């Protein structure tokens, strides 16, 4: 079973890239973030023609998440239970006995800003919910744009970024909480190339210079982590014309669906 996640930065603009990528890699599941589409505008027909169904929750202009899959999902949830939040940032569904969550963590803008406060309030609600999900679903995969670079090796220039948003200690502490409740960073289950990143700013030739951060993650429960065979970042779509600023991350699991 192949699982993947990709912040597409507008599914409307990126739909051709997404459909090509699905055809090439044939994942059972692709979590997407930043669809920037209301639900009535979601490209259900085009994805169905590509062999994928979708569960989604979106809004105009900002945010929006989805799970694309080859098989139908059940037990759909489109918000963190108990959290009052206008922004569409999570969607969950169950495929066989695998629970999948697509998540778009707030960016946080800058340390000390209102958006940073929102991020630091939002994240504990996510952790609390995931703890409950882990109790209910032993096979849990949480995938998406976490907007957190967990360690200095996930940052092209740790000195430049030290203490900045995406790298600050309070954010990294929450990421550690995610690991402490029983999730594994699937990318770090394996030996990886140095300077592996998933996001590069559009500006300043950041991609060409590989000035990136690893902020998109596939987190797996213990049961799924045990069956994980590989996890890799696919930089190829970032090299296309009009790319997303994020690259997809894909994991292969020894699980039959």
Partner DNA sequence: ATGGTAGAGGATCTA
Q: Which residues are catalytic?
A: 104, 145
Nearer to DNA, 62 or 190 (CB): 62
> Interface mask (CB under 7 A) for DNA, residues 183-222, using x and -?
-------------------xxx------------------
Task: Looking at residues 98 to 137 of the shown chain, list those that interact with DNA (rule: CB under 7 A).
Answer: 106-107, 109, 115
Q: Which of 23, 62, 121, 230 binds DNA (CB under 7 A)?
A: 62
76 touching DNA, by CB under 7 A: no
CB 106 within 8 A of CB 89: yes
Nearer to DNA, 86 or 194 (CB): 86
CB 110 within 8 A of CB 119: no
CA torsion, ordered 186, 108, 101, 178, to nearest 10 deg = 50
Nearer to DNA, 27 or 64 (CB): 64
36 touching DNA, by CB under 7 A: yes
Residues of this chain that bind DNA (CB under 7 A) = 9-10, 12-13, 36, 60-62, 106-107, 109, 115, 202-204, 242
């Amino acid at each position: 079973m192949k699982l993947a996640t990709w912040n597409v930065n507008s599914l409307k603009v990126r739909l051709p890239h997404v459909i090509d990528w699905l055809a090439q890699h044939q994942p059972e599941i692709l979590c997407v973030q930043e669809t920037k589409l209301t639900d009535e505008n979601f490209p259900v027909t085009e994805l169905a023609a590509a062999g994928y169904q979708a569960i989604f929750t979106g809004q105009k202009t900002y945010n929006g998440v989805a799970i694309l899959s080859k098989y139908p999902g059940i037990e759909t949830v489109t918000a963190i239970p108990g959290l009052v939040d206008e922004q569409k940032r999570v969607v969950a569904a169950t495929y066989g006995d695998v629970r999948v969550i697509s998540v778009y963590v707030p960016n946080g803008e800058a340390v000390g800003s209102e958006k940073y406060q929102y991020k630091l309030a939002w994240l504990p609600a996510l952790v609390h919910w995931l703890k409950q999900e882990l109790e209910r679903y032993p096979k849990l995969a949480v995938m998406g744009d976490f907007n957190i670079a967990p360690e200095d090796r996930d940052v092209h220039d740790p000195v430049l970024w030290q203490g900045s948003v995406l790298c600050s200690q309070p954010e990294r502490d929450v990421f550690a909480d995610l690991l402490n409740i029983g999730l594994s960073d699937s990318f770090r289950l394996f030996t990886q190339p140095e300077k592996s990143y998933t996001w590069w700013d559009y500006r300043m030739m950041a991609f060409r210079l590989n000035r990136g951060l690893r902020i998109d993650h596939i987190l797996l429960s213990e049961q799924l982590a045990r069956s994980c065979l590989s996890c890799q970042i696919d930089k190829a779509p970032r090299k296309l014309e009009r790319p997303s600023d994020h690259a997809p991350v894909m994991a292969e699991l020894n699980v039959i669906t």
